[in-house]
Amino acid sequence: MGLFLFLIVSLLLLISVSCIRDNTHSSCTSIFQEDKHQSNGSGIHITLHHVHGPCSPVTLPKLPLKDVLRLDEMRAQALYNRLTKANVTTSSMPKSVDLRPEMVNIPLKPGQSVGVGNYVIKIGLGTPAKYFTVMMDTGSSLSWVQCEPCEISCHPQVDPRFNPSTSSTYEYLTCGTPECSTLEAATLNPPSCTLSNLCIYNSVYGDRSYSVGYLSRDTLTVAPSQTLPGFVYGCGQENDGLFGQSAGIVGLARNKLSLLSQLSSKYGYVFSYCLPTPSSTGTLSIGQSTYNPSIYKFTRMYLDRRDPSLYFLRLASITVAGKALPLSVAVYTSTPMIIDSGTVITRLSSAVYVPLRTAFVKAMAGYKQAQPISILDTCFEGGVQGKHVPEVRLIFEGGSELRLAAQNSVIEVDGVTCLAFAESRGVAIFGNRQQQTFGVVYDVSGSKIGFAAGRCG
- Residue 266 sits at the vertex; the CA angle it makes with 174 and 230, to the nearest 5 degrees, is 20
Q: How far is CA 25 from CA 22, 117, 158, 182, in A?
A: 6, 21, 21, 45
CA distance 295 to 411: 28
Name the pairing type of β-strands 270-274 and 248-251. Answer: unpaired
Contact at 8 Å (CB) between 272 and 290? yes
User: Hey, how many other C-beta atoms are within 10 angstroms of the C-beta on 163?
Assistant: 14
Distance between CA atoms of residues 307 and 241, nearest Å: 24
Q: Are 241 and 260 in contact (CB under 8 A)?
A: no
Q: What angle do CA 278, 382, 356 make, to 5 degrees?
A: 80
Burial 63-82 (b: 16+ CB within 10 A, else e): eebeebbebbbbbbbbbbbb
Give the C-alpha separation, 378 to 365, whole Å.
12
| Cα-Cα-Cα-Cα dihedral sign, residues 416, 417, 420, 421 | negative
The 3-state secondary structure of 2-35 reads: CCCCCCHHHHHHHHHCCCCCCCCCCCCHHHHHHC
SS3 452: strand
- Of 35, 72, 218, 340, the active-site residue reads 340
- Helices within 303-379 (DSSP H only): 329-333, 350-363
Look at residues 406, 409, 414, 402 and name the one whose alpha carbon lies nearest to residue 438: 402
Q: Judge whether 57 and 328 are in contact, CB under 8 Å.
A: no
Q: Which residues on adjacent β-strands are paired with residue 251?
A: 137
In the set 137, 159, 218, 307, the catalytic residue is 137
Q: Determine the 3-state secondary structure of 267 from DSSP.
A: helix
Q: Specify whether 137 is catalytic.
A: yes
107: preceding bond cis by omega (within 30 degrees): yes
Bridge partner list, 217? 171, 232
307 is catalytic: no
Asked if residues 430 and 422 have their Cβ atoms less than 8 Å apart, the reply is no
Closest by CA position to 422, among listed 32, 54, 169, 70: 70
Active site residues: 137, 340
